[in-house]
Amino acid sequence: MAYEDLSPFYQNRVNQRLGTIGLPDYVTDLAANLPEKYRQRQILRDEQAKAFAASGYTSTGLSSRKDVNSAATPPKDAQVQAAAENAPLRIVYGQQRLGAQVANVLVYQNQLIVHAIWCEGPIDSIVSVTMNDESLPAGVTATHYTGADGQTADATLIAAFAALGITYADTLPGVAYSVFHVSATASDGFPNFAAVIKGRKVYDPRTLTTAWSDNPALCLADFIESNSYGLDRTTDSASVEDAADECDAVVGAAARRSLNLVLENVATSRQHMEALRAYAGCWIVESGGDLKLVPDRPRATDHTVTASGILAGSLQLSKLGVQEVPTVIDVRWTDTSVTPWVERSAVAYAAGVLAGTTPRRESQIS
């Protein structure tokens, strides 16, 4: 039964209980071509990105604070529920909590059916879901899809669209999503859904397997090689193994480097590459047509530069001026011990800042 087929009394009840007033803004015609619409808007799929990928890439210096911050999405923003149409399909590395991107809303068999898009798949799993930041109440159920190539079209969406005279058969390969069934008594307004996503499965050349990992070097290699959202370039496998081992090295009781990041801000390939290599702690250089990851760490000298090996006028050294050196560092981090996740801040001050004898020059990184 479609919403329009309900009696005026029950339509009014649904409007009052589930907040369906304004739902036409959510209802879209994505049934036949949702993947195409998303991929038209996917991060990096523009002429600038294509030209960049073809021109080659070699990193120079440390990644800038601007590039790292451009890739980071504050948890408050990442957990907001929004309409899916014309939104970029997000990419999750590691684990993140996301608000739903609502693609379709229908009324079927006296239930509200909410089609919630999460991110690019295949992912490892949808760890948990909430409605209005609480566990799903009685009268609300969900069916999850991880974006696997072999996933089938959702039976409820097929039936709900059929009730409207629309044929729906989209399996949405490469898209992780959920379909929620909400009874008329389960919510006082339009429900807000969010999920903890255990993200992308990435290839590990050390084990020759593709599985979930929060190793930044493996995530960087995945981004470089993806022909859907990345550069569509090949990496030097031995260098990826070396960089991944460096990230996995145990410091104290934890891996030296790990990554939990959602890419949803539209940015250039270079900006995302710079951010990802900052997390991986490596340089990226061209090597025989491949991109090679070089860990930023002490190593044995393999070449000595002498005056005879420097082209006259080509060596230029520079350093930041005093006014460009920060005296306050504000590091923003995500507290996952509460729901919703929140952003916290850790601040370090140079000597004399708090006393007022050293000028305050603040730098913030997310």
108 three-state secondary structure: strand
Q: Are residues 140 and 248 in the same domain?
A: no
Task: Please tell me what DSSP assigns to residue 324.
Answer: G
Alpha helices in 174-233 (DSSP H): 216-225
Question: Is residue 82 within 8 Å of 73, Cβ to Cβ?
Answer: no
Q: Residue 270: inside a domain, yes or no? A: yes
Enumerate residues 6+ apart whose C-beta is below 8 A from 179. Answer: 113, 114, 115, 116, 142, 143, 154, 156, 157
pLDDT tens series, the chain, 366 aa: 443 443 333 333 334 333 333 333 333 333 333 444 344 334 344 444 455 555 566 666 677 777 777 778 899 999 999 998 888 899 999 999 999 999 999 999 999 999 999 999 999 999 999 999 999 999 999 999 999 989 999 999 999 999 999 999 999 999 999 999 999 899 889 999 999 999 999 999 999 999 999 999 999 999 999 988 888 999 999 999 999 999 999 999 999 999 999 999 888 888 888 999 999 999 999 988 899 999 998 888 878 888 888 888 887 888 878 888 899 999 999 999 999 999 999 999 999 999 999 999 999 887
Q: Are residues 48 and 155 in the same domain?
A: yes
Q: Residue 80: inside a domain, yes or no? A: yes
Q: Are residues 326 and 182 in the same domain?
A: no
What b/e sequence results for 44-83 when a residue is b if at least 16 CB atoms lie within 10 Å of its CB, and e otherwise?
beeeebeebbeeebebeeebeeebbebbbbebeebbebee
pLDDT value at position 228? 87
What is the pTM for the complete model shown? 0.81
Strands 123-131 and 111-120: unpaired
CA torsion through residues 70, 75, 80, 84, sign = positive
Q: Are residues 231 and 294 in the same domain?
A: yes
- 331: containing domain: 322-365
The number of distinct structural domains making up the chain is 3
Nearest-angstrom CA–CA distance, 102 and 114? 7
Strands 254-255 and 82-83: unpaired
∠ CA 211-219-145 to the nearest 5 degrees?
A: 50
Strands 101-108 and 82-83: parallel
Q: Residue 309: inside a domain, yes or no? A: no
Q: Residue 244: inside a domain, yes or no? A: yes
pLDDT value at position 322? 82
Q: Are residues 143 and 239 in the same domain?
A: no
Question: Is residue 168 within 8 Å of 31, Cβ to Cβ?
Answer: yes
Task: Please tell me what DSSP assigns to residue 269.
Answer: H
Q: Are residues 149 and 87 in the same domain?
A: yes
Q: CA-CA distances (angstroms) from residue 272 to 13, 56, 68, 229?
A: 47, 15, 8, 11
Q: Residue 352: inside a domain, yes or no? A: yes
Q: Are residues 253 and 185 in the same domain?
A: no
Longest CA span, the chain: 89
Enumerate residues 6+ apart whose C-beta is below 8 A from 26. Answer: 83, 102, 104, 105
Q: Are residues 16 and 158 in the same domain?
A: yes
pLDDT value at position 365? 84
Nearest-angstrom CA–CA distance, 161 and 135? 28
- 116: closest CA among 137, 133, 130, 99? 99
Looking up tokens 């009730």, which residue turns up? Answer: 163
Q: Residue 312: inside a domain, yes or no? A: no
Nearest-angstrom CA–CA distance, 114 and 159? 14
pLDDT value at position 188? 86
The DSSP H or E segment spanning 38 is helix 34-41
Q: Are residues 8 and 93 in the same domain?
A: yes
Nearest-angstrom CA–CA distance, 279 and 263? 13
